[in-house]
Amino acid sequence: MFDYTPFYICCMELLYRLDDINEVAADVLKAFGERNVIAFSGEMGSGKTTLIHAVCRQLGVKGNMGSPTFSIINEYEGERGPVFHIDLYRCRDEEEAIRAGVEDCIYSGCLCLVEWPEKAPSLFPEETIRVSLTEKDEGRRKISVT
């Protein structure tokens, strides 16, 4: 008999190139399951914003999305409801992020795709899905979802 736990999150690792980003985004989205807070880590230039844009396209977000580095929170309209694209790059700590309205988004029940989670680590619920991006050799990225 197998003991199956529905909350078990599989660790997923993918290698991809920019050309495959739509397929990868679809796979990553499936891995989210019912969870709605997703933290994206990776150094500058590793492709966090680009991957999030591709995930948002899979969610049916239309139109221009841009980078939330300046605005901190971008809100998009997806087919299953609002999607918050958050970038904590300019926040110093939790308090700053809270005052910018980030906590309200994270606990709103809406899907939140968050870049630079390291800036305010204690803000994230335990069930946060962690996506980390590392660039391998020229043009290839490794993505791991836990």
Partner 1 sequence: MPVKILAIESSCDETAASVCVDGKILSNVIANQTVHAQYGGVVPELASRAHMQNIVPVVDAALKKASVSLKELNAIAFTKSPGLIGSLLVGSQFAKSLALSLDIPVIGVHHMQAHVLANLIDEPRPAFPFLCLTVSGGHTQIVQCKSPSDLVVIGETLDDAAGEAFDKSAKLLGLPYPGGPLIDTYAAKGVARFNFPEPQIPGLDFSFSGLKTAILYFIRDNEAKDKNFLQQNINDICASIQSRIVSILLNKLKRAADQTGIREICVAGGVSANSGLRSSLTGMGIREKWNTYIPAFQYCTDNAAMIAITGYFKFLNKEFDELDVRISARADF
**Positions that interact with partner 1 (CB under 8 A):** 43-47, 49-50, 53, 64-67, 69-75, 89-92, 95-96, 99-101, 135, 138
Least separation in angstroms between residue 74's CB and partner 1 is 6
CB-nearer residue toward partner 1: 95 or 127? 95
CB-nearer residue toward partner 1: 35 or 134? 134
CB-nearer residue toward partner 1: 36 or 49? 49
* Backbone Cα Rg of the chain: 15
The answer to whether 76 and 61 have CB atoms below 8 angstroms apart is yes
Instruction: Give the separation between CA 58 and CA 113, rounded to whole angstroms.
Output: 13
The token pair at 97 is 């992020």
Least separation in angstroms between residue 143's CB and partner 1 is 15
CB-nearer residue toward partner 1: 116 or 124? 116
The answer to whether 75 and 65 have CB atoms below 8 angstroms apart is no
Least separation in angstroms between residue 2's CB and partner 1 is 43
Least separation in angstroms between residue 15's CB and partner 1 is 16
